């Protein structure tokens, strides 16, 4: 128990005496639920969302409450100058976190896709709070490091929450560009006409309209049959023609897409809509890139998005399909198929085949350029409402959710409004925080399940040990030492993309305390097929240590008694053996 | 007083003559001095975009009069490759000739001159050990083996030049050229000629990996590190596109210059002697990798202008772009017209036919052609004769160092540069003269009853160039033509206060009309930064 806890308890005892409440009773107010930290040091409600300030507050509390498990740092600044905070979570008392195989997690690259932030935060919270309770988590944090970066788009996260928006805006950050090519930037964005902080829809009564209001539920607009007369026409999202060019809402925040800004097979805007100037021309992504380049121990990565209930892997574009070769796809498949079991309603998919084309996406950069096994989970899916697959934006189902589960909280009822261009209209529709974002009561469960998947992913980053060392006397004062280096997890120390392009240095297997005559990698121990390393055999360069497999390294040494063997792998960590 | 000081005084007192007094290509310091002189002349402003890892400035010289950023502009770039020292001098001379001889042109065209994008690599030309260097001063692991710069160049014969070394060996692939035995060529299949050689870049295999100079002390090459066809994982490319300070600084600057309509780049690539070729299937792919058809036509027209002005016949000018380069970036990823030329190349030397009975044709290589040309021009010191040395990696072999001097094949004697620069300035002036030009024609203001006026006018692009190339039309980094009328929306009964037009072709017109209510005057303004603006005032 640390000093602070003692002090807290002392204060509690003092107050309980003051209020004349017996100490024992306070503890009996709770009964432990399996799977959740019981009476955590940092109390967080996981059924609501947090602004940037709220996120930073939780991160600071976690780092403060668990100084041996979590460290807070700013990895750079956003466009508007906010710090991008990252938590390093590992058992700092056992080993250097920057030498352990690491899992990188971020969220919110698209500013309206908010819950990746809470899911990331939940992971940091869960790992630190459960460390004392569970052997599994203790061992995990002894072996691994988690780099948790809850929002890599803090400016526009706050804009989404604090300012009027649709569920889909803003997707970009807060740099304002000229979207309509008229030389002016951001001159005609949304207008929150009814001042409710949501951008909903505008409709108008019109003799040529093709919609009517549903008689059973007048919030719902339905399209009439081809030969029938309608009553309403749709006018799009709330807004006015601010710049007088005859268009409404044609040039607001952005537009660019931070997930088209990464340096693998990057393409310009006319090929890949949303690309900015060149890879990492957005400061937020640049900060992440620099962090990743400086942490070669990152072996797995997750970038949370919404929507759709998907575990996505690359490639983002058909043109890049050869990058994902069979050996690596086998590992992607093994991990993600387990994920499908862990997160009901989520499916394992490939971006270019099952979704749409993306050039310059984050997950492709992590894998293509750095050789890191990376998924993007598309959080939230309609399956979570009634355990049926009704698809995205199903009005029927969403109305049902709002009637029976959220009791009208999700919808802005139609109200009349005098519009400067359209005159008498009605404004209403679903709120920005419905549809893509989980309703509060579904948030914690899905956070836990997705975290469990990233823990599984992290668990299968390489784990290296020197499992066996054999000595054989060759006569003439020579000895042959054969060391078996075992990797007891799914991922190799070098993905096959990494091997193909020599992205990361080889693994070093070093012997010290012996007089080395020569060294070799043993490819086939039974038939003595070996590859000699003529230069500097004390430090053998091993290209890769495959997953669930081993590598044998052999030296011929003269003399020597006590020697040591050390494995040093950028993504596989460090292992030692002593005679 | 040492020579440097004398030099400084000469610049200070006789600055204006220094360009003509120059005897060799300028050092980075001399480049800066000449730019500062130009900037002090009016009509030019010098800024440093950034400093490289090697501590050198990346200069931008803005040349023009008045509102620079709302006139069509040409970007002139040199030093795209660090070993291409001519290109820096050409960019400097173009700038100074524009200022000196073409003041009138600056009323209508702006020029942005970036004389040297590779100053770190460029400095190798002036160093004690000269070699054709591409990379900047950033530390890069070119062979991706986890060790930095562990196998660079060694000057084995201590002559200050990195050339080649050859090892006499029956296993060798190289044999002396039949006509000029100084040059080694690959032996043809079945040829038994002796002696045979193995040939390497001059150096030692420091890391014992049987490769020579594969990881030298230099970093990323500007012209191999941009986004178009970025050669990932290749030496000199860097870890991702646009990774270097100088490339980011230049691109950031360019992305804010909406007025640039064309690039002229002095680099090894050449699409001016002959235009880029059109490949239908590459042009139709999602990732466009052929210049589009209409733009090839523009390229062809501009090539014709170039070939009229430049007297040298193209020879060995097959390089029409390399992966990650700058001139292709300017077209494919920045949507601007983009032209590149090395400025100079070794001309073809026709062999004199002495003996008509000579039946066997000897293949001319760029090296033998260069040496023949050098002989003809009586250039001394372009070849280092093969000279025996002891090589630690080949203890019991005959090893010789020699070959054509670095830079010689891409760098003309300095005395030739003035005329090259004059011709290329003339070409750039000609390109500026055909820039898109918006004009109003057939103006009419008809009075209708009830105080209404109908305004009709034809907007005309009086240029053989369109306002937007076919690719430029797709790019978000070129603005559309904006047609604005400064009248209240309620007073315009037909027509808009602002209207956007995607493009006007060469000599194309677009009829415009409005019906306006009331009296007074109306200002009509049409254009975009890269086309300039046409304005007119109409009395109602």
- Pairing of the two strands B260-266 and B184-186: unpaired
The alpha-carbon gap from B334 to the nearest alpha carbon of chain A, in Å, equals: 8
Indicate whether B118 and B260 sit together in one domain. Answer: yes
The alpha-carbon gap from B286 to the nearest alpha carbon of chain A, in Å, equals: 6
User: Across the 579 residues of chain A, what is the mean pLDDT of every consecutive 10-residue run?
Assistant: 54 51 61 95 97 98 98 98 98 97 98 97 98 98 98 97 95 91 88 95 96 94 94 96 87 91 97 97 98 98 97 95 94 98 97 94 98 98 95 93 96 96 96 96 98 98 96 93 97 97 96 95 91 94 97 91 94 95
The verdict on a CB contact (< 8 Å) between A271 and B241 is no
- Which one, of A452, A404, A374, A486, lies nearest residue A130 by Cα? A452
Predicted local distance difference test score (pLDDT) of residue A139: 98
Predicted local distance difference test score (pLDDT) of residue B357: 57
Q: How many domains does chain B have?
A: 3
Determine phi and psi for B167, rounding to 5 degrees. -120, 125
Chain B residues with CB-CB distance to A365 below 8 A: 240
**Cβ contacts of residue A267 below 8 Å, gap of 6+?**
A275, A359, A360, B287
Would you say residue B141 lies in a domain? no
Would you say residue B25 lies in a domain? yes
In this prediction, the answer to ipTM > 0.90 reads yes
Task: Give, in order, the Cα–Cα distances in Å from B168 to each of A571, B173, B200, B213, B344.
Answer: 45, 10, 12, 20, 35
The alpha-carbon gap from A518 to the nearest alpha carbon of chain B, in Å, equals: 16
Indicate whether B115 and B31 sit together in one domain. Answer: yes
Please tell me the total number of residues recorded for chain A in this structure: 579
- Pairing of the two strands B438-448 and A373-379: unpaired
Predicted local distance difference test score (pLDDT) of residue B479: 95
Task: Give residue B14's domain range.
Answer: 3-126+218-346+412-433
Q: Is B316 an interface residue toward A (CB < 8 Å)?
A: no
- Rounded Cα distance between A473 and A479, Å, is 5
Predicted local distance difference test score (pLDDT) of residue A253: 86
Indicate whether B380 and B280 sit together in one domain. Answer: no
The verdict on a CB contact (< 8 Å) between A271 and B288 is yes
The verdict on a CB contact (< 8 Å) between B474 and A278 is no
Indicate whether B429 and B295 sit together in one domain. Answer: yes
Would you say residue B10 lies in a domain? yes
Beta strand residue intervals within B240-346, DSSP E:
260-266, 337-341
Scanning B215-234 for CB atoms below 8 A from A yields 226-227, 230, 232-233
Q: Is B258 an interface residue toward A (CB < 8 Å)?
A: yes
The verdict on a CB contact (< 8 Å) between A182 and B498 is yes
Indicate whether B312 and B238 sit together in one domain. Answer: yes
The alpha-carbon gap from A31 to the nearest alpha carbon of chain B, in Å, equals: 53
Q: Is the pTM of this model over 0.90?
A: yes
The verdict on a CB contact (< 8 Å) between A502 and B144 is yes
- Rounded Cα distance between A225 and A167, Å, is 29
Indicate whether B199 and B246 sit together in one domain. Answer: no
The alpha-carbon gap from B102 to the nearest alpha carbon of chain A, in Å, equals: 30
Q: Is B324 an interface residue toward A (CB < 8 Å)?
A: no
Chain B residues with CB-CB distance to A568 below 8 A: none
The verdict on a CB contact (< 8 Å) between A245 and B471 is no
The verdict on a CB contact (< 8 Å) between B241 and A278 is yes
**Inter-chain contacts counted by CB atoms under 8 A, chains A and B:** 102
Chain A residues with CB-CB distance to B243 below 8 A: 263
Indicate whether B336 and B485 sit together in one domain. Answer: no
Give the 3-state secondary structure of residue A259. Answer: helix
The enclosing H or E element of A168 equals: none
Nearest CA in chain A to B247: A278
Residue position matching structure tokens 């800004």? A261
The verdict on a CB contact (< 8 Å) between B232 and A502 is no
- Rounded Cα distance between B139 and B147, Å, is 10
Are A571 and A461 spatial neighbours (Cβ–Cβ below 8 Å)?
Answer: yes
Are B401 and B73 spatial neighbours (Cβ–Cβ below 8 Å)?
Answer: no
The alpha-carbon gap from A569 to the nearest alpha carbon of chain B, in Å, equals: 12
Picking from A244, A263, A281, the nearest residue to B498 by CB comes out as A244
Indicate whether B367 and B486 sit together in one domain. Answer: no
Indicate whether B447 and B306 sit together in one domain. Answer: no
Q: Give the CA dihedral B309, B315, B316, B318, nearest 10 degrees.
A: 40
CATH class of A31-159+257-382+439-459: alpha beta
Domain ranges of chain A: 31-159+257-382+439-459, 177-252+394-430, 464-578
- Which one, of B282, B307, B292, lies nearest residue B338 by Cα? B292
Q: Is B490 an interface residue toward A (CB < 8 Å)?
A: no
**Cβ contacts of residue B356 below 8 Å, gap of 6+?**
none
Chain B residues with CB-CB distance to A180 below 8 A: 500
Predicted local distance difference test score (pLDDT) of residue B70: 94
The alpha-carbon gap from A418 to the nearest alpha carbon of chain B, in Å, equals: 19
- Rounded Cα distance between B132 and B134, Å, is 7
Numbered residues of chain A with Cβ closer than 8 Å to any chain B Cβ: 177-178, 180-183, 243-246, 263-264, 266-271, 277-281, 289, 293, 319, 357, 365, 368-369, 501-506, 534-535
Would you say residue B48 lies in a domain? yes
Would you say residue B355 lies in a domain? no
Q: Check which CATH number belongs to the domain holding B450 and give it.
A: 2.60.40.10
Would you say residue B152 lies in a domain? no
Nearest CA in chain A to B478: A181
The alpha-carbon gap from A263 to the nearest alpha carbon of chain B, in Å, equals: 5
Picking from B207, B241, B476, the nearest residue to A269 by CB comes out as B476
- Residue B414 carries which DSSP code? G
Chain B residues with CB-CB distance to A181 below 8 A: 476, 478-480, 500
Indicate whether B335 and B419 sit together in one domain. Answer: yes
Q: Check which CATH number belongs to the domain holding B14 and give it.
A: 3.40.630.10
Nearest CA in chain B to A357: B286
Predicted local distance difference test score (pLDDT) of residue B41: 84
Calculate the CA A214 to chain-centre distance.
41
- Rounded Cα distance between B33 and A92, Å, is 55
Picking from A183, A246, A293, the nearest residue to B496 by CB comes out as A246
Nearest CA in chain A to B471: A270
Indicate whether B40 and B69 sit together in one domain. Answer: yes
Chain A interface, best mutation among B290, B336, B498, B530, by max A CB count within 10 A: B498
Question: Which parts of chain B sit beneath pLDDT 70?
Answer: 1-21, 353-360
The verdict on a CB contact (< 8 Å) between B251 and A280 is no
Are A89 and A142 spatial neighbours (Cβ–Cβ below 8 Å)?
Answer: no
The alpha-carbon gap from B316 to the nearest alpha carbon of chain A, in Å, equals: 32
Predicted local distance difference test score (pLDDT) of residue A20: 52
- Rounded Cα distance between A375 and B456, Å, is 59
- Rounded Cα distance between A542 and A486, Å, is 13
- Rounded Cα distance between A167 and A155, Å, is 17
- Per DSSP, the residues of A316-371 read SSGGGGGGS-HHHHHHHHHHHHHHHHHSTT-EEEEIIIII---SS-HHHIIIIIT-
The alpha-carbon gap from A157 to the nearest alpha carbon of chain B, in Å, equals: 26
Are A79 and A173 spatial neighbours (Cβ–Cβ below 8 Å)?
Answer: yes
Q: For Cα atoms A492, A348, A376, give the angle at the middle one, nearest 5 degrees.
A: 70
Indicate whether B425 and B382 sit together in one domain. Answer: no
Would you say residue B138 lies in a domain? no
Are B457 and B524 spatial neighbours (Cβ–Cβ below 8 Å)?
Answer: yes
- Rounded Cα distance between B427 and B429, Å, is 5
Calculate the CA A468 to chain-centre distance.
37
Q: Which of the following CATH numbers is that of domain A464-578: 1.10.3470, 2.60.40, 3.30.70, 2.30.30?
A: 2.60.40
Calculate the CA B506 to chain-centre distance.
26
Would you say residue B229 lies in a domain? yes
């Amino acid at each position: 128990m640390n000093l602070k806890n003692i002090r807290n308890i002392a204060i509690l005892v003092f107050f309980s005496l003051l209020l004349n409440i017996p100490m024992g009773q306070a503890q009996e107010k709770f009964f432990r639920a399996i799977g959740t930290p019981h009476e955590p040091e940092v109390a967080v409600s996981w059924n609501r969302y947090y602004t940037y300030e709220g996120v930073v507050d939780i991160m600071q509390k976690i780092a403060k409450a668990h100084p041996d498990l979590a460290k807070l740092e700013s990895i750079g600044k956003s466009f508007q100058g906010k710090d991008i905070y990252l938590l390093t979570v590992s058992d700092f008392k056992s080993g250097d976190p920057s030498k352990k195989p690491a899992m990188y997690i971020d969220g919110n690259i698209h500013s309206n896709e908010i819950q990746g932030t809470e899911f990331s935060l939940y992971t940091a919270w869960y790992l630190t709070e459960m460390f004392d309770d569970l052997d599994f988590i203790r061992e995990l944090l002894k072996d691994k490091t988690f780099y948790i970066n809850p929002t890599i788009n803090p400016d526009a996260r706050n804009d989404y929450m604090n300012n009027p928006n649709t569920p889909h805006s803003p997707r970009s950050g807060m740099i304002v560009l000229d979207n309509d090519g008229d030389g002016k930037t951001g001159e005609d964005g949304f207008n929150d006409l009814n001042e409710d902080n949501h951008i909903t829809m505008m409709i108008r009564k019109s003799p040529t309209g093709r919609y009517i209001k549903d008689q059973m539920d007048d919030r719902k607009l339905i399209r009439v049959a081809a030969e029938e007369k309608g009553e309403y026409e749709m006018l799009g999202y709330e807004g006015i023609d601010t710049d007088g060019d005859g268009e409404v809402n044609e040039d607001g925040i952005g537009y660019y897409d931070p997930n088209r800004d990464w340096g693998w097979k990057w393409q310009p805007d006319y090929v890949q809509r949303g690309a900015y100037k060149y890879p990492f021309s957005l400061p937020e992504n640049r900060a992440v890139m620099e962090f990743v380049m400086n942490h070669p121990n990152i072996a797995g990565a997750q970038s949370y998005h919404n929507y759709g209930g998907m575990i996505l892997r690359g490639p983002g574009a058909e043109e890049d399909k050869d990058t994902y070769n069979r050996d690596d796809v086998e590992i992607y498949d093994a991990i993600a198929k387990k994920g499908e079991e862990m997160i009901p309603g989520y499916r394992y998919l490939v971006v270019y085949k099952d979704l749409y084309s993306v050039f310059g996406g984050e997950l492709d950069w992590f894998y293509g350029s750095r050789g890191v096994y990376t998924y993007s989970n598309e959080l939230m899916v309609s399956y979570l409402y009634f355990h049926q697959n009704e698809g995205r934006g199903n009005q029927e189902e969403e109305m049902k959710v709002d009637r029976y589960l959220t009791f009208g909280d999700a919808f802005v009822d139609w109200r009349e409004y005098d519009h400067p261009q359209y005159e008498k209209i009605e404004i209403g529709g679903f709120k920005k925080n419905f549809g893509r974002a989980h309703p509060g009561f579904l948030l914690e469960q899905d956070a836990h399940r997705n975290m469990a998947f990233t823990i599984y992913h992290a668990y299968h980053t390489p784990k290296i040990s020197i499992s066996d060392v054999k000595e054989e006397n060759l006569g003439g004062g020579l000895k042959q030492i054969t060391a078996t280096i075992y990797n007891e997890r799914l991922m190799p120390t070098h993905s096959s993309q990494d091997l193909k392009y020599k992205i990361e240095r080889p693994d070093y297997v070093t012997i010290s305390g012996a007089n080395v005559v020569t060294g070799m990698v043993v490819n086939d121990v039974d038939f003595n097929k070996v590859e000699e390393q003529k230069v500097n055999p004390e430090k053998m360069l091993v290209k890769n240590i495959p997953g669930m497999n081993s590598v044998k390294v052999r030296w011929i040494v003269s003399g020597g008694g006590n020697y040591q063997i050390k494995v040093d792998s950028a993504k596989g960590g460090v292992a030692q053996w002593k005679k | 007083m040492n020579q440097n000081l004398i030099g400084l005084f000469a610049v200070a007192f006789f600055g204006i003559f220094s360009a003509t007094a120059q005897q060799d290509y300028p050092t980075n310091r001399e480049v800066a001095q000449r730019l500062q002189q130009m900037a002090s002349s009016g009509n030019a402003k010098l800024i440093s975009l950034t400093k490289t890892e090697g501590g050198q400035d990346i200069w931008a010289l803005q040349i023009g009069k008045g509102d620079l950023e709302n006139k069509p502009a040409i970007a002139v770039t040199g030093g795209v490759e660090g070993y291409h020292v001519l290109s820096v001098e050409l960019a400097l001379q173009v700038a100074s000739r524009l200022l000196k001889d073409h003041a009138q042109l600056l009323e209508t065209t702006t020029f942005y001159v970036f004389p040297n994008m590779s100053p770190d690599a460029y400095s190798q030309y002036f160093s004690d050990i000269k070699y054709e260097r591409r990379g900047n001063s950033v530390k890069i692991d070119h062979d991706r083996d986890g060790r930095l710069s562990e196998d660079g160049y060694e000057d084995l014969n201590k002559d200050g030049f990195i050339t080649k070394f050859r090892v006499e060996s029956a296993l060798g692939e190289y044999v002396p050229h039949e006509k000029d035995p100084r040059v080694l060529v690959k032996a043809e299949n079945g040829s038994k000629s002796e002696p045979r050689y193995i040939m390497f870049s001059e150096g030692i295999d420091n890391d014992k990996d049987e490769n020579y100079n594969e990881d030298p002390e230099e970093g990323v090459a500007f012209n191999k590190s941009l986004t178009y066809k970025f050669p990932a994982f290749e030496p000199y490319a860097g870890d991702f596109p646009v990774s270097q300070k100088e490339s980011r600084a230049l691109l950031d600057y360019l992305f804010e210059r909406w007025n640039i309509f064309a690039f002229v780049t002095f680099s090894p690539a050449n699409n001016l002697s002959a235009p880029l070729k059109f490949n239908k299937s590459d042009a139709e792919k999602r990732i466009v990798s052929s210049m589009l058809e209409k733009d090839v036509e523009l390229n062809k027209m501009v090539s014709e202008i170039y070939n009229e002005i430049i007297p040298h016949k193209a020879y060995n000018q097959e390089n029409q772009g390399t992966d990650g380069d700058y001139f292709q970036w300017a077209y494919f990823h920045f949507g601007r017209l983009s032209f590149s030329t090395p400025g100079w190349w070794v001309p073809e030397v026709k062999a004199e036919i002495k003996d008509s009975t000579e039946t066997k044709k000897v293949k001319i290589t760029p090296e033998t052609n260069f040496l023949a040309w050098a002989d003809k021009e009586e250039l001394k010191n372009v070849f280092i004769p093969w000279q025996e040395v002891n090589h630690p990696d080949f203890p019991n072999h005959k090893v010789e160092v020699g070959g054509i001097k670095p830079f010689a094949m891409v760098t003309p004697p300095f005395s030739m540069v003035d005329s090259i620069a004059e011709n290329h300035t003339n070409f750039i002036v000609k390109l500026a003269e055909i820039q898109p030009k918006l004009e109003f024609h057939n103006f009419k203001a008809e009075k209708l009853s009830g105080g209404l006026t109908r305004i009709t006018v034809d907007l005309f692009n009086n240029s053989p160039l369109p306002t937007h190339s076919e690719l430029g039309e797709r790019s978000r980094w070129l603005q559309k033509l904006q047609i604005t009328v400064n009248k209240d929306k309620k007073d315009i009964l037909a027509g808009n206060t602002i209207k956007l037009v995607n493009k006007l072709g060469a000599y194309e017109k677009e009829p415009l009309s409005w019906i306006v209510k009331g009296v007074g005057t109306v200002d009509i303004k049409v254009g975009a930064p890269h086309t300039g603006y046409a304005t007119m005032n109409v009395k109602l």
